[in-house]
Amino acid sequence: MFISPFDTLRVLPRKLMMEVWRRLNTGLNENEPWEPLADVYETNNDYFVFVELPGVKKEDIVLTIDKNKLCIRGNKTRKIDGDEEKTLFSECLYGSFEKVIEFAEEIEEDNVNAELQIGLLKITLPKKLVSVGKRIVVSGE
C-alpha cells in the first residue's frame, strides 16, 4: 500500500503539528524574536493592520513607521514567575516579538492611529496623498 507524504501530514498528532508551527514561527533558538499573526487590508485611502497580541500590554508595544514600512516590536512576558514554578506544558509564545510590514505606498506618518483592545492591535495607516498633476496655463503671446 502506498502512503503519500500528504497522508502522513494528515495523521500527525495535533500537538506535533503545533510544535512544527512554533519552530517555524520562533526559529530553533528561544532567544530569537517571534512574529505575531496579522491581517492587512487596504482601501483607496488607508491601510488597516490587525495584529493578534493576547496577553501583551500597550506599554510593551513599540510601533515605528518610516515612509512605507511599519515595524511592530514588543515583549510578551510569562504570567507566572517564581522559583517554585514547574512547567507542565507550554503552548504560548513568550519573549520579544517583531513584525515588519512594507506597503506599496508611503504612509501619512502624522495621522497613524493604533488601538489595543482585548488582545487585538488595530492600526490605521492613511496613505500619503500623491499629487496627480496640474495643468499650467502658459501666459504671454
CATH number of 63's domain: 2.60.40.790
Domain assignment present for residue 133? The answer is no
Domain assignment present for residue 5? The answer is no
Give the residue from 115, 113, 110, 125 showing the smallest Cα distance to 47. Answer: 125
Is residue 131 predicted with pLDDT exceeding 90? no
Domain assignment present for residue 131? The answer is no
Question: How do residues 74-121 score in pLDDT, each as one tens digit?
Answer: 999 877 766 677 777 777 788 899 999 999 999 999 999 999 999 999
Whole-model pTM: value is: 0.72
Domain assignment present for residue 86? The answer is yes
Domain assignment present for residue 98? The answer is yes
Domain assignment present for residue 40? The answer is yes
Look at the chain and report how many structural domains it folds into.
1
For residue 120, give its domain range.
30-126
Between CA 140 and CA 90 the distance in angstroms is 78
Give the residue from 127, 116, 103, 126 showing the smallest Cα distance to 36. Answer: 116
- What pLDDT is recorded for position 95? 86
Between CA 119 and CA 126 the distance in angstroms is 23
